Chain A
């Protein structure tokens, strides 16, 4: 089977509330999967689970070959790429320093940093402190990190929020390249009728499960 991730009847309930109430989901290698659903339907929770950030209460499955119940979640986190709502870098460090720091910690070559910054259109902001950037620019920094990381599974939480038309086009392009290179993408969006360069498979979440 060519699955990047599979989840069966997974329940996740941090602090007692079941954000996921028996989620079953399969992610094929090289596919782009779009999670749709209302606010609070469990989209972000599903992405967090795929990112190895949640403790599973019941259910089984694997993510990039790591068992979700018994495996080392740190290993999952090392293998996936994450783009969240929040600015996920240190405000006091510049764009380039943030990326260099992440590269050195994960022992990746730093050669690709300049290219990645250029590609996401932040060439003239590389020495700007991340705290001074706008929300959209934060997204672009996070995107640059994903370009450097080249993960096998991309997890994007509302990736189109706060992006302008050029950035959207850029994101589409980057996602298409990624899937063509064999990576799998799971993203969430509550916007209906998104235009996609690559037609994604759509799954609607309802009450913490995939609606059939």
Chain B
């Protein structure tokens, strides 16, 4: 059973993704106001959901588990790194699709919306996390510090979100969401959107798992290299 679940994750992700594409591109109707632009609805919210909640959520949980002495293992560190890396891709996609929609809908590529801003800040934090990892040689030090960084980021993002939200609402009366642009989501559109959430979650899970397997292989390889190095080091004494 477990084996079946393991094997079917990739195909399931692909299938759900293809399903979303077919429904989103060919089956669902054009929106009355926004036309084909509304089809971004079938990818953008799902990407944002992964980027803001699933991705960083799992990275934070893995980091906490790493710092908790009883659950500490190299696997948790690798899992956290894998989640942040994959999240970064989703963050970039979210920003990209958001801009693509924003340009025709709002007339600009960027607006100072709370969600948009916190997504961008999250992107910078994810980059910072990966930069921190690359600046540290010692694996234990790296694992500990990046776990702290992930937790700090998880604390920071909601604060950024709410401060930008307040910042907007207090001083710029009209919101960017023109009521006339409001989408009516119903019927097949709602079902497609729901499928897109499932699809992107599966894609995320599959990517993280593959990245995790790669990371674990690297950890194993490092262990082998270390064992070899220990043997060499012991020889040092005997031959000299």
Contact = CB atoms under 8 A, between A and B. Distances in A.
Asked whether the complex places CB atoms of A and B closer than 8 A, the reply is yes
B140 A209 contact: no
A13 B137 contact: no
Interface string A28-60: 000000000010010000000000000101000
Interface stretch (A16-24, A89-97, A179-187): A16-24
A209 B237 contact: yes
Considering residues B229, B235, B238, which has the most beta carbons from chain A within 10 angstroms of its beta carbon?
B229
A11 B230 contact: yes
A206 B140 contact: no
Contacts of A13: 226, 229-230
Nearest to B144: A55
Interface in B196-240: 222, 225-226, 229-230, 233-238, 240
Interface string A60-96: 0000000000000000000000000000000000000
A191 to B, nearest CB: 19
B233 A208 contact: yes
Contacts, number: 48
B101 to A, nearest CB: 46
A16 B240 CA distance: 23
Contacts of B229: 13, 16-18
A13 B225 CA distance: 11
A211 B240 CA distance: 12
B222 A21 contact: no
Considering residues A22, A38, A206, which has the most beta carbons from chain B within 10 angstroms of its beta carbon?
A206
A17 B237 CA distance: 16
Nearest to B137: A15
B226 A207 contact: no
A109 interface: no
Interface in A94-151: none
Interface of B: 137-140, 222, 225-226, 229-230, 233-238, 240
Top-8 shortest CB links A-B: A206-B237, A207-B236, A207-B237, A21-B233, A15-B137, A18-B230, A21-B230, A208-B233
Given A22-B234, A208-B236, A208-B237, 11 more contacts: A13-B226, A13-B230, A15-B138, A16-B139, A18-B233, A21-B230, A21-B233, A55-B140, A206-B237, A208-B233, A211-B237
